[in-house]
Amino acid sequence: MNELKALIFDVDGTLADTEANGHRVAFNKAFAEAGLNWHWSVELYGELLAVTGGKERILHYIENHRPEFTAPGDLGEFIASLHLAKNGYYAEMVAAGDIPLRPGVKRLLQEALHSGLRLAIATTTSLENVEALLEHSLDPDAVSWFEVIAAGDMVAAKKPAPDIYHYALKALNLPAAQCLAVEDSLNGLRSALAADLRTLVTVCDYTRNQQFSGAALVVDQLGEPDQAMTVLAGDADVATLIDVDTLRLIFNQGEPRLAERA
Ligand code: XBP
Ligand code: MG
């Protein structure tokens, strides 16, 4: 039987609720700064999250919501500069401590490290955004807790494609059968399953109504000793939080079935 050797974490929505009060707000500030009358409400942003990647999301918005828009110059360059400005505002918010981690994240990461599990990240957002979040919201040294940070444009195809997980597995030099992914969204789960990874889903506000067929377990949060999680799908026995024992329990329940990966 395969032994669990490493955990591969998504970032946005999984480590922290970065979207509604983080990236979304930063996108809107960048739009205003560029003199655009675009505003992404909490509700619209939830729809736009179907498209992963900030640059890809802006392009999708222009094509579907602003078909009359003409960029000043090259569209790709215009989107890239808007996205850069967005990330500047996002970095300010993270540095100000405005984006706390979700319950149980710090506890689980520390416990995993102490028990000898290797840690990695596979995310759609940029390396700079991940490092800022780890440093300011987790621990000044937290970047070094992760052996691999697979992020953003390091791969051509973003989630739900498996590329970012393939990249992380290759850098870890481990087979998928010895790793567990932690995700918050259907796009993330699809990406992990397509890379043959068993996957724990911890839903966030934007994803709690999605269907997570193929997940090893679906919970509403990782939980804390004084804040029990709710199991939404799967079997965590009597566990009230996700700790390393719970991860091993769900890992040993078996590989994702082929039919569930589609
Ligand atoms: C996260 C994303 C990202 C963030 C914004 O998806 O789709 O695009 O919304 O980050 P996941 P960037 O959690 O599945 O990785 O603007 O840097 O793309
Ligand atoms: Mg996510």
* Ligand 1 atom closest to the CA of 23, numbered from 1: 5
Mean pLDDT of 104-119: 98
Sequence letter at residue 190: R
User: How confident is the model over 127-141, as a mean pLDDT?
Assistant: 98
Tell me the mean pLDDT in the region 158-179. 98
What pLDDT, on the 0 to 100 scale, is given for residue 257? 54
How confident is the model over 180-208, as pLDDT tens digits? 999 999 999 999 999 999 999 999 999 99
pLDDT band at residue 178 under the 50/70/90 scheme: very high
pLDDT tens for 20-61 read 999 999 999 999 999 999 999 999 999 999 999 999 999 999
Give the span between the Cα atoms of 59 and 191, in whole angstroms. 21
Residue 30 · residue 85 · CB < 8 Å: yes
Query: Distances in Å between the alpha carbon of 5 and those of 37, 216, 262?
Result: 49, 16, 26
What's the whole-number average pLDDT of the chain? 96
> How far are the Cα atoms of 85, 233, 238 from residue 219, in angstroms, in the given order?
34, 7, 13
| Closest-lying ligand 1 atom to the alpha carbon of residue 19 | 9
pLDDT at 258: 46
Q: What is the pLDDT averaged over residues 102-116? A: 98
Pocket of ligand 1 (CB under 6 A): 10-13, 19, 23, 52-54, 123-126, 129, 152, 159, 185, 187-188
Cα of 10 to ligand 2 centre, how many Å?
6
